[in-house]
């Protein structure tokens, strides 16, 4: 059986993102969103989620290129004086793995983000990490270990197979794509050992920011058997923050894909069943 979860990242990053998520939930295929608990519009996101009983919300853990929950003075090895994680993925990865003092502060911040989510009163549906940083063994291990104490039921595995993308019109696999796919095995092992649920496949990596209606409809016809998560970055329009962080992303087009009758028809024709993380975690 082909089963698919339609989800959105960056819930709480901006009001424009939140508006798009609410629209896609009310009028489209979106069932799931991942919340940045320290995002500039996190409070607005939580209020919208409370009036959207059909929207499942999980934690979008931020340990790169975003704001922290804890004040900078408590985690000075992690963030700038302004409380922002840096964008240098390689340097962060080395520090998270090799520096014990950094790992201790990282654990404190990850726990603080789970605690901030718990204070919203929303049910914790799943977790993943901004820019897939939970693929880092230290981050993934802490997310799973700390998340377990907060009842975390499911974790995204960003494993994107090549064949469906090629069949849908994406044909050039790089060495990086192959290495990333193999590297997801470690995270899957961490999740399995914690007896948490996970998806089989994930789409939205190769076409990140460009999940247009035509592409998603083409992908729907070639979804593999098993559980696939298709994630999006929708927004009603690009504000200054989105222009700075993701200048090339087609946020409005991704919202259009989520409410597209053509995408819905393609899914129906494929026989894929729309599900949520709760269905996977049973």
Give the model confidence (pLDDT) of 92-125 as tens digits. Answer: 999 999 999 999 999 999 999 999 999 999 999 9
Rounded Cα gap, residues 178 and 134, in angstroms: 18
Mean pLDDT for 35-41 is: 98
- What's residue 130's pLDDT? 98
- Is this structure's pTM higher than 0.75? yes
Backbone angles phi, psi at 35, to 5 degrees: -95, 130
Residue range 170-196: average pLDDT? 91
170 has a pLDDT exceeding 80: no
> CA distances (Å), 73 to each of 80, 83, 99, 114, in order?
9, 9, 18, 20
* Phi, psi angle pair for 125, to nearest 5°: -90, -35
pLDDT higher than threshold 80 for residue 171: no
Left, alpha or beta for 159 (phi > 0: left; psi -120 to 50: alpha)?
A: beta
Percent of the chain with pLDDT over 90: 95
DSSP structure class, residue 272? P
pLDDT for residue 186: 96
Q: Are 223 and 168 in contact (CB under 8 A)?
A: no
pLDDT of residue 72: 98
């Amino acid at each position: 059986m082909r089963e698919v979860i339609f989800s959105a990242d960056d819930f709480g990053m901006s009001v424009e993102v939140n508006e798009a998520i609410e629209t896609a939930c009310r009028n489209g295929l979106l069932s799931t969103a991942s919340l940045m608990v320290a995002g500039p519009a996190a409070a607005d996101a939580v209020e919208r989620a409370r009036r959207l009983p059909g929207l499942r919300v999980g934690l979008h853990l931020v340990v790169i290129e975003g704001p922290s929950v804890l004040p900078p003075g408590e985690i000075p090895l992690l963030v700038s004086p302004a409380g922002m994680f840096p964008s240098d993925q390689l340097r962060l990865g080395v520090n998270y793995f090799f520096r014990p003092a950094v790992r201790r502060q990282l654990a404190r911040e990850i726990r603080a983000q789970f605690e901030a989510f718990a204070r919203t009163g929303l049910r914790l549906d799943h977790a993943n990490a901004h820019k897939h940083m939970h693929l880092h063994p230290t981050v993934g291990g802490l997310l799973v270990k700390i998340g377990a104490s907060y009842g975390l039921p499911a974790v995204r595995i960003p494993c994107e197979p090549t064949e469906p993308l090629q069949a849908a019109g994406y044909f050039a696999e790089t060495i990086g794509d192959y290495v990333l796919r193999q590297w997801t095995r470690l995270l899957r092992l961490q999740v399995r050992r914690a007896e948490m649920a996970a998806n089989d496949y994930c789409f939205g990596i190769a076409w990140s920011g460009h999940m247009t209606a035509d592409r998603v409809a083409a992908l729907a016809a070639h979804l593999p058997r098993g559980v696939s998560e298709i994630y999006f970055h929708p927004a009603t329009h690009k504000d200054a923050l989105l222009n700075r962080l993701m200048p090339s992303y087609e946020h409005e087009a991704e919202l259009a894909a989520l409410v597209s009758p053509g995408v819905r028809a393609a899914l129906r024709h494929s026989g894929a069943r729309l599900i949520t993380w709760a269905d996977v975690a049973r």
